[in-house]
Amino acid sequence: MKAIHVGLCGVGTVGGGTAAVLKRNAEEIARRAGRPIVIKIAASRDLERARTVCGPDIEVVADVMTVADHPDVDIVVELIGGTTIAKDLVLRAIENGKHVVTANKKLIAEYGNEIFARAQEKGVMVSFEAAVAGGIPVIKALREGLTANRIEWIAGIINGTSNFILTEMRDKGMSFAAALADAQRLGYAEADPTFDIEGHDAAHKLTIMSAIAFGIPVQFEKAYLEGISKLDALDIKYASELGYRIKLLGVTRRRENGIELRVAPTLIPHKRLIANVDGVMNAVLVKGDAVGATLYYGPGAGAEPTASAVIADLVDVTRLATADPENRVPHLAFQPSAIANLPILPIDDVETCYYLRMDANDKPGVLADVTRILAEANISVDSMLQKPAAEQVDGRADIIILTHLAVERHVNEALARIEALDSITGHVVKLRLEHLHG
Ligand SMILES: NC(=O)C1=CN([C@@H]2O[C@H](COP(=O)(O)OP(=O)(O)OC[C@H]3O[C@@H](n4cnc5c(N)ncnc54)[C@H](O)[C@@H]3O)[C@@H](O)[C@H]2O)C=CC1
Ligand SMILES: N[C@@H](CC=O)C(=O)O
Ligand code: NA
C-alpha cells in the first residue's frame, strides 16, 4: 500500500518525539492506519539537530514553506509554535490542499475560526489533539465519544508546567524559580514560560475545549486568566488545613445567559480525584447530562506523550483522507453551519465559591463587621478559620472565609467595603473554589 507522506515542520521537543515514535512503532502504526506513515521531508531552523534526529533517509531543509509547497507531502505537521511563521505555514499548506496536524494551541485558540473556515473550503482536515492536554485523547473524547450529551461543564488541570511547579513546591519545598527551571529542562515549558505560569497556555486549551463542548467559535480574547506567579505559599498552607488543594484550573461552564471561560488558581476538595493530579500530569473532568462526570488523565507535556497525540491525528487523517469531506468529523465537533453564537460571560458575572483571606485586627466585633458586609452582599459563609497572623504580629490575625456560591461582582463589591474597614490591613486575598460535584 502506498505510504502517506508527512512533512515535519519543527524538530524540537515534540518534533523529535514524533520522529522517534513514528520510526519505532512504524509497523504497528501502519497496521492501524492501513498504510505506512512516512516522514518525507523535515524543516527546522536548527538543521544540525534536525539531521541528527531524522537520520540520513529524510531530507532536511531550513525553510518550512518548502514543506508546505512540496508536491509529495500529503500532511504538514506544524510543531514550531507561535502564531507568525506557524500561521503562514498552516494557511499555505491548506491553500496547497494538504491536511495539517498541529500541537499549537495558541494558533488554534487565536486563529482557529479562520483556519477551519479555509480548511473547510479546501476540503482538508486540520487536527490538533496534541494542542490540548498533551497525550490525553481528550479532543477525541469530546468530539466523538460524548456526542450524545449536552455538556454542562469542563474543569481541567491543563498546564503541565504550572502543575509541576505547584507540586514540586509543595512536596519538595522547592522555590518557584528552581521548579520552573526544571520544567524547562524537561521540555514541558513553552518557549516563553510566562505563557505557562500566567495562565495563557491553559486558557488557550480551555478555549479550544469550550468551542468543541458547546459548539461555539473559539474566542480566546474573551477568556479570563490568572496564573500561579502571585500565589502565596500561605494560602496553599491554609487551603490544605481546610481540606483543599490549590490547582491552576480551567473552568468552562454553560449558564442560562452564556458560557463561563476562566483560568485561575482554584481550591478543590482534596478528596476529589482531580485534586490529586500532580507533577506534569493533566486531567480534564467533563460533565455531560447523560453520562455524568467523566475524567481523562495523563501526561500533559513532554516529547513522546505529545508525539502520541500528534501521531494519533496522523492515523486519523490517513484513514479519512480518501473519505468524502462531508462525512468527516467536523473540526469543532458541531457542523460549521450549526455553530452557535453564545456569549462568553464577563468574569464579573461568573458564579462560584470563594476563599477569602484577610489580615485583621484581633479585636471583638471585627468578624461581625466582615460577616455583616458579606451578608448584605448576599454572600453566605460556608466555613471560617482564624489563625494568629502568619507574620506573628501582636494583636493581628489571619481570617480565612470560604463562601457558598456567589457572583464575582458581589464579592468584589463586598471586598472593597471590607478593605475599607479600619480593622483590616491591605488587600483581601481572593481565590476561587470549585466543589466539582459529579
Ligand atoms: N513541549 C511540550 O510538551 C508540548 C508542546 N506543545 C506545542 O508544540 C509546539 C512545539 O513545541 P516544542 O517542541 O516544545 O518546541 P521546541 O522549541 O522544542 O521546538 C520548536 C522547533 O521549531 C523550530 N523552529 C522555530 N522557528 C522556526 C522557523 N521559523 N523555521 C523553522 N523551524 C523553526 C526550532 O528549531 C525547533 O526545532 C508548540 O506549539 C507547543 O506549544 C504542545 C503540547 C506539549
Ligand atoms: N507548556 C505546556 C506544554 C503542553 O501543552 C504545558 O506545560 O502544559
Ligand atoms: Na490531547
pLDDT tens across 237-257, in order?
Answer: 999 999 999 999 999 999 999
Predicted local confidence at residue 438, as pLDDT: 77
Q: What is the pLDDT of residues 28-45, one digit of tens each?
A: 999 999 999 999 999 999
- 122 belongs to an annotated ligand binding site: no
Of the CA atoms within 13 Å of residue 62, those in its CB half-sphere come to 4
347-433 CATH: 3.30.70.260
Predicted local confidence at residue 259, as pLDDT: 98
Active site residue 363: no
β strands within 165-323, DSSP E: 224-225, 244-255, 258-269, 281-288, 292-299
| Annotated catalytic residue within 40, 205, 247, 287 | 205
Predicted local confidence at residue 88, as pLDDT: 98
Q: Are 408 and 347 in contact (CB under 8 A)?
A: yes
What would the mean pLDDT of 265-269 be, rounded to a whole number?
A: 98
> CATH 3.40.50.720: which residues of the chain?
4-135+303-338
Average model confidence (pLDDT) across the chain:
96
Predicted local confidence at residue 390, as pLDDT: 74
Question: Residue with the nearest Cα to atom 19 of ligand 1?
Answer: 12
Pocket test for ligand 2, best of 201, 249, 263, 280 (most atoms within 8 A of CB): 201
Q: Is the CB of 188 under 6 A from ligand 2?
A: yes
Q: Is the CB of 64 under 6 A from ligand 1?
A: yes
Predicted local confidence at residue 111, as pLDDT: 98
Superfamily of domain covering 144-298: Dihydrodipicolinate Reductase; domain 2 (3.30.360.10)
Predicted local confidence at residue 140, as pLDDT: 98
Q: What is the pLDDT of residues 128-140, one digit of tens each?
A: 999 999 999 999 9
The C-alpha cell 505559599 sits at 233
Predicted local confidence at residue 1, as pLDDT: 82
User: DSSP state, 143?
Assistant: I
Give residue 189 CA to ligand 1 midpoint distance, Å: 10
What is this model's ipTM? 0.99
> CATH 3.30.360.10: which residues of the chain?
144-298
- 230 belongs to an annotated ligand binding site: no
Query: How does residue 63 score in pLDDT terms, banded at 50, 70 and 90?
Result: very high
Note the pTM of the prediction, 2 decimals: 0.97
Question: Which atom number of ligand 2 is nearest to the Cα of residue 133?
Answer: 5
Query: How does residue 326 score in pLDDT terms, banded at 50, 70 and 90?
Result: confident
Give residue 321 CA to ligand 1 midpoint distance, Å: 26
Q: What is the separation, in whole angstroms, between the first and last Cα of the chain?
A: 47
What are φ and ψ of residue 310, in 5° steps?
-60, -45
> CATH 3.30.70.260: which residues of the chain?
347-433
Q: Are 301 and 188 in contact (CB under 8 A)?
A: yes
* Rounded distance between C-alpha atoms, residue 370 and residue 15, angstroms: 55
Domain 4-135+303-338's class? Answer: alpha beta
Predicted local confidence at residue 218, as pLDDT: 98
Task: For residue 190, give Cα distances in angstroms to 15, 40, 344.
Answer: 14, 27, 26
Question: Which atom number of ligand 1 is nearest to the Cα of residue 104?
Answer: 39
- To the nearest whole percent, how much of the chain has pLDDT over 70? 100
* Rounded distance between C-alpha atoms, residue 304 and residue 242, angstroms: 38
